[in-house]
Amino acid sequence: MNATAPTIPRTDEHLLRPGNTNCGGCGMSIGLTMLDRALTDAAETCSLVIPACCGIVTAGAFPTTSYGVPTIATTFASSPAVASGVAAIRDLNEEPGQVICWAGDGGTYDIGMGTLSAAAERNENIIYICYDNEIYGNTGGQRSSATPARARTTTTPWGKTQDKKDIMTIMAGHRIPYAATLSIAHPEDFAHKLATALALKGMRFLLLHSPCPTGWKSEPADSVKLVRLAVGSGLFPLYEVFDGATYRINVEPDGTDPAEYFQCQRRFDAEEIDLRATRRACADRIQRLQALATQYPADG
Ligand SMILES: Cc1ncc(C[n+]2csc(CCOP(=O)(O)OP(=O)(O)O)c2C)c(N)n1
Ligand code: SF4
Ligand SMILES: [Mg+2]
């Protein structure tokens, strides 16, 4: 008997159903809704693989679920390995559909890094989306290696002293077919990158900046504004890397002062932040990407 991957044809069901328990203004909810739209527009089927994180709490209590597609809950560290197996069965049976890992930053930057790196090195045929809320949100807001410097978390009450890990460079270093950053403040760019990812095969890594009003101590209504400020200031650039070799910047920073981003979140003490150093770091980040995009431009 052939094992079958748990993909089903899309119905008029949404990927994220109404009535879930996510906090108001949660970037992950908006990201899932935008992912749903991209899949529907591309008439794609999918199954989700989700490790321990807010994204699996979203599903709710058995036998009900907030997900309208087949969803596998995995242990914290194993979602890329589980997704690799599901995708291998799908491909063996020549079935259609995408296997999509939907994982938090803790499961991606930290505890799942080993299985993620292994799946990337094998160029597994999966889409991996990290919704990066820059903390372990589900367990009370502890720091992760995605937490930016100076952010106060429950385990860094005086502000984190280390910088955010540059996971895009790590993933590009695996020379996977596609790595890109996403923002819920730029829906057309989001849709374009999902369409690009869906058209490719192999390991595709997408990093979504995902506001978390609960952990960021921000107003739920400010979520989209916040991540727009992050793109505009160069704190979270929007770009693509193909095969770890060629680069494209999708939205140029607009001169926003990063101070505006910090001021809207009580996880930062504005007086503690060295704004001159932060502005310089943003400029350096963009200049480095511009140099790569000029020297090694992506086609088209
Ligand atoms: C091996 C292991 N360690 C710790 C936990 C507890 N745990 C569950 S979810 C989570 C935090 C997840 O953080 P992240 O991946 O960033 O997702 P978020 O909660 O922010 O959505 C932790 C520490 C666990 N389930 N398994
Ligand atoms: S804690 Fe943060 S990531 Fe988790 S559901 Fe609430 S807003 Fe979303
Ligand atoms: Mg998180």
What are the structural domains, with CATH classification, of the chain? 27-295 (3.40.50.970)
CA–centroid distance, residue 209 to ligand 3 (Å): 10
Q: List Cβ neighbours of 27 (8 Å cut-off, separation of 6 or more).
A: 131, 133, 184, 208, 209, 210, 211, 212, 223, 227
DSSP string, 185-237: T-HHHHHHHHHHHHHS-S-EEEEEE---HHHHT--GGGHHHHHHHHHHHTSS-
- Which residue minimizes the CA distance to atom 3 of ligand 2? 212
Nearest CA to ligand 2 atom 1: 137
Confidence of residue 4 (pLDDT cuts 50, 70, 90): low
Alpha-carbon distance values, 199 to 98, 193, 287 (Å): 11, 10, 30
What is the per-residue pLDDT across 227-239, written as a single tens digit (0 to 9) for each?
999 999 999 999 9
Structure confidence at residue 11 as a pLDDT band (50, 70, 90):
low
What is the C-alpha separation between 151 and 122, in angstroms, rounded? 35
Verdict on whether the full-model pTM lies above 0.85: yes
CA 25 – ligand 3 centroid, Å:
15
Across the chain, mean pLDDT equals 95
Classify burial at 132, counting beta carbons within 10 Å of its beta carbon; exposed 0-12, middle 13-18, buried 19 or more: buried
Tens of pLDDT, residues 54-103: 999 999 988 889 999 999 999 999 999 999 999 999 999 999 999 999 99
What separation in Å is there between the alpha carbon of 189 and the centre of ligand 3?
Answer: 23
Task: Mention every residue, 6+ apart, whose C-beta is less than 8 A from residue 12.
Answer: none
Take residue 142 and report the two structure tokens written for it: 């502890």
pLDDT of residue 1: 41
What is the pairing mode between strands 178-183 and 238-242? antiparallel
As a whole number of angstroms, the distance between CA 291 and CA 56 comes to 39
Pocket of ligand 1 (CB under 6 A): 52-55, 76, 104-107, 133, 135-139, 144
**Residue 183 DSSP code:** E
Give the orientation angle of helix 27-41 with respect to helix 223-233, to 10 degrees.
Answer: 80
Q: What is the pLDDT of residues 235-260, one digit of tens each?
A: 999 999 999 999 999 999 999 999 99
Ligand 3 centroid to Cα of residue 137, in Å, is: 5
